[in-house]
Structure 1
Amino acid sequence: MSNSSFSSLIYRIIGKPERWHDEYIVDMMQQYLNEADDFDDPDNIMELAAGDQILSRLQQGNVALAAFNTLLDKSRFKMIILDDELRPIYHNSRADRLLNYLQAGSETLREDLLTLINQLPSPGSLENQLIALDFFDQNGEQLYLRRIRSQVRDHNSPTHFHILMVLDKEQVNQRLNPELVARYGLTEKEQQVLLRLVHGSTINQIADAIFVSENTVKSHLKSIFRKTSSNSQAGVVSLILTHESQVLDSYFDSDITTVSPQNDHANDREVTLANGQRIAYCEYGPAEGRPLLVFHSGFGSRLAIPPDYETICARTNRRVIIPDRPGIGKTRFIAGHPAQWNTQLTEFIDLLNIGDYDLLGSVIACQMAMSFAAQADNRLQRVILTSPVVLNTAADARYLTEILAPAARYVKVSPQFAKEIYELWLKSVTLNLDAHYPSMLRASVGSAERSQFEQQGIIQLLTDVFKEGARHTLNGILHEMVFCMTPLNLDPNQFNKPIELWYGTEDKRITEAGVHALSKQFNNCTLHVREGYSEHLYYALFEEIIQ
């Protein structure tokens, strides 16, 4: 998909191009592009082309916007997306002939198809359901439709989108979605039966294709019916197609299916502040151990702890307390976050009757940790920062890499636009979470920690944590991203808490030169550099770090 196609579709989904043009492109982007030597002349930039160049720059940073294109073009379906007025706004590459057939030479859909769709019940009553239409393409294949609610809440944007789909017979060998396979515990043979059933094969044809008897196919079908709580071939086919058609749902209001990591939340807890705000958190290790508060940078931060935490916490006598900050995971977002967080965390510490404690920050949450530490009382004994992304001065931003580098530039010009772009990136990751996010993580793991991550299943753990957090709001992490990309401007001479910095030489978020520069800014600062580790060294060296 070209940048133009991608940005046009995204802008149609999250808001009309005119809204972007009026609010961001003219006023903000002209300023931004004037400052950037390597962008095109601003006078030559049209409203969508400006967004194209920004999205292209993110793609050059190797940060997953290609997931959208990958999903649509590798879908089991020929797919056409319609707006609420049933006008085609995008189709994947294999749907070219289908779109031509459905439009019959005009720019709108055929009248008989429009009439059929308009005769369906109201959008709300059929929302997210897969509907088999009484309509067939030029090859005699049945047309399916799904209606999905738009996430945009203004009168200029569509309230619903429609997805027209036809099964692509050439995709019969494409495997089922791994999350679906795991959810229903499907065996390899059951998957082979299901794939052919979904693509219209008869029991006899399935038996011939996978070299078993018809009775064996029927036995597999019975097992599939039992596992999926279906009572017919049509029912199980509808279930599979509905699941596999949900590739766009994270751009809308549909929920994200999750796995519950860390013992089904056995460690989940909650406190209520005086203003009624509830803070969700997890507590690990011995109740009388030395308290360590952890700020993690990702979704569901309260779950961010290595698989062998019980042994490590007991051995180090550490009581590890990890809160979900407002709008991250289970703690409800409140307007103005993170401005009030330091006060809220102090009250949180008081409610838990914590005496002396240490504070640990990871990646961009290091900025939150330093902000709190600067005004914390004498109970705070030590600050530990892993992969220490801290912008104390504007000059520190030059040491950022990957997605953080452009994010810092966007924040400098327009925090609102930065949040919009960062949200697109986060949602693009969730589009193909079980396949795409693990591959992103594997690419960012350092050589020294790689085998440990594979043996302990940490990639799956981080994927599950991301899924758990992504079920809730993006507001917290978006607002914190802006805060964390804004210089703190702390006075190093007045900051007298002991600081430990932990850095892996294969970190993809901040350069080693940046970490050395940071260590020189603050008094009483110790730097630990580990060869071959990345920004994930929090997990790989957890015991050594929290000693």
Structure 2
Amino acid sequence: MAIEGNVVLADGRNISFAEYGSPDGHPVLYFHGAPSSRLEPLLIGDDVFVRLGLRIIAPDRPGMGRSNFQPHRGFSDWPGDVTALADSLGLHKFSILGNSGGGVYVAACAARIPERLHSAVIVSGAWRMDQSHLLTHLPLVMRMTWLLAKHAPALLRLLLKNMSASVGSDLAQMKDILPQSDYDALERHGRYEAFSYVLREAMRQGSKGPAWDMRLYVHPLDVRLQDIRMPLHVFHGEKDSNVPIAMVREALTDIPSARLTAYQHEAHLSTLCNRFDDIAKALLKG
């Protein structure tokens, strides 16, 4: 079971988080996907984190789970929240791990607070999702989602609300939609049930926070990727249909310190689930 916590920030907002793994392990702040929540590490499991000697601390981003919404925020606001959370937990140095929509939040911290970081790791990370020459690589449903995020945010909120209501239905209905490796990953160990729980928690306060979070990916990033000097470890599946690897390779041209590890047979979720031992090595090594 996760240990839940809450921190009041200087502006009066609450940021909620959940802890997993070994209390005495190497501290890792885990940045969840979009939309998602502090419960996302349930997809991996406490036993894995304990075995690897990790203390995973996963905060809800503003407007998701139990964390208060933050008006007008961008990626560049996140390092301040992270620093405040780490200070409240007595962490001077720590690692950061961002999965999927948590990717640019890792990049923001690597650019803004490198002195606080032992290591920075991105798994299946999204970057700019509105580049027309790359959108053609996305499945139609994903392409439409990002177009709504940019041009019709009210419809995006409705889409997210409907998605939250329908999640948890029979996984078999998604067999023709998901890459085989993602389907196989969700089929194991009750993971689809956990996945459904994670997404419903993301929408606890409604769709406003998750929609705002997704919109950040279809506008110019307010973080200069060129400012990242520390090593940035990036893990990505070549079968990823949510964030095609061509998008990743293009984004990483702006980050000379980035190291890409690509897996030929992994996809969006399966990279996190199946390759976590490799991910942990990067977190621990720095």
Bin the TM-score by the shorter chain. 0.7 to 0.9
Alignment partner, residue 466 of structure 1: 199
Secondary structure class of the residue paired with 2:27 = strand
- The answer to whether the aligner puts 1:287 opposite 2:20 as a matched pair is no
Shift of 1:389: 1.1
Confirm or deny: 8 A CA contact 1:392 1:487 kept in the other structure.
no
Shift of 1:407: 4.7
CA-based RMSD of the aligned residues comes to 2.8
Alignment partner, residue 405 of structure 1: 143
* Counterpart Cα distance in 1 of 2:246 and 2:36: 31
Residues 471 and 379 (structure 1), Cα distance of their counterparts in 2 relative to 1, 3 Å cut: closer
Alignment partner, residue 38 of structure 1: none
Alignment partner, residue 276 of structure 2: 542
What CA deviation, in whole Å up to 9, does each residue of 1:408-442 have, x standing for no partner? 44555x4xx2x212112112223433326x45755
Give 1 or 2 for the bigger CA radius of gyration: 1
Secondary structure class of the residue paired with 1:460 = helix
Residues 449 and 428 (structure 1), Cα distance of their counterparts in 2 relative to 1, 3 Å cut: closer
Residues 385 and 440 (structure 1), Cα distance of their counterparts in 2 relative to 1, 3 Å cut: farther
Residues 472 and 411 (structure 1), Cα distance of their counterparts in 2 relative to 1, 3 Å cut: closer
Secondary structure class of the residue paired with 1:305 = helix
Secondary structure class of the residue paired with 2:16 = strand
* Counterpart Cα distance in 2 of 1:330 and 1:464: 14
Structure 1 residues 393-402 or 480-489, which shifts more? 393-402
* Counterpart Cα distance in 1 of 2:128 and 2:28: 23
Which of 39, 43, 60 aligns to 1:324? It is 60
Secondary structure class of the residue paired with 2:169 = helix
- Give the unaligned 5+ runs of structure 1: 1-262
What is the TM-score when the length of structure 2 is the normalising length?
A: 0.84
Aligned pair count reads: 278
Output aligned runs, 1:431-446, within 5 Å. 431-435=165-169, 438=171, 442-443=175-176, 445-446=178-179
Confirm or deny: 8 A CA contact 2:182 2:268 kept in the other structure.
no
Output aligned runs, 1:320-469, within 5 Å. 320-338=56-74, 340-391=77-128, 398=135, 401-402=138-139, 403-409=141-147, 414=151, 417=152, 419-435=153-169, 438=171, 442-443=175-176, 445-448=178-181, 450-469=183-202
Amino acid at match of 1:499: L
Shift of 1:357: 1.6
Alignment partner, residue 481 of structure 1: 214
Which of 218, 229, 248 aligns to 1:515? It is 248
Confirm or deny: 8 A CA contact 2:30 2:98 kept in the other structure.
yes
Output aligned runs, 1:26-41, within 5 Å. none
Residues 294 and 343 (structure 1), Cα distance of their counterparts in 2 relative to 1, 3 Å cut: same
Amino acid at match of 1:546: A
Shift of 1:373: 2.5
What is the TM-score when the length of structure 1 is the normalising length?
A: 0.46
Residues 524 and 505 (structure 1), Cα distance of their counterparts in 2 relative to 1, 3 Å cut: same
Shift of 1:546: 2.3
* Counterpart Cα distance in 2 of 1:440 and 1:482: 28
Secondary structure class of the residue paired with 1:378 = helix
Tell which has more relative contact order, 1 or 2 (C-alpha 8 A, sep 6+): 2
Confirm or deny: 8 A CA contact 1:449 1:540 kept in the other structure.
no
Confirm or deny: 8 A CA contact 2:157 2:211 kept in the other structure.
yes
Confirm or deny: 8 A CA contact 2:24 2:55 kept in the other structure.
yes
Residues 481 and 510 (structure 1), Cα distance of their counterparts in 2 relative to 1, 3 Å cut: same
Shift of 1:480: 0.9
Shift of 1:544: 2.4
Shift of 1:400: 6.0
Confirm or deny: 8 A CA contact 2:103 2:125 kept in the other structure.
yes
Shift of 1:396: 7.8
- The answer to whether the aligner puts 1:270 opposite 2:6 as a matched pair is yes
What CA deviation, in whole Å up to 9, does each residue of 1:316-366 have, x standing for no partner? 211111000111111121322346433222211211111222211122221
Identical aligned residues as a percent? 21
Residues 315 and 430 (structure 1), Cα distance of their counterparts in 2 relative to 1, 3 Å cut: closer
- Give the unaligned 5+ runs of structure 2: 282-286
What CA deviation, in whole Å up to 9, does each residue of 1:350-393 have, x standing for no partner? 11111222211122221222223221140113221111211299
Confirm or deny: 8 A CA contact 2:107 2:225 kept in the other structure.
no
What CA deviation, in whole Å up to 9, does each residue of 1:449-499 have, x standing for no partner? 544432311111101222233232222111111112223265444311211
Confirm or deny: 8 A CA contact 1:280 1:331 kept in the other structure.
yes
Residues 404 and 337 (structure 1), Cα distance of their counterparts in 2 relative to 1, 3 Å cut: farther
Amino acid at match of 1:435: S
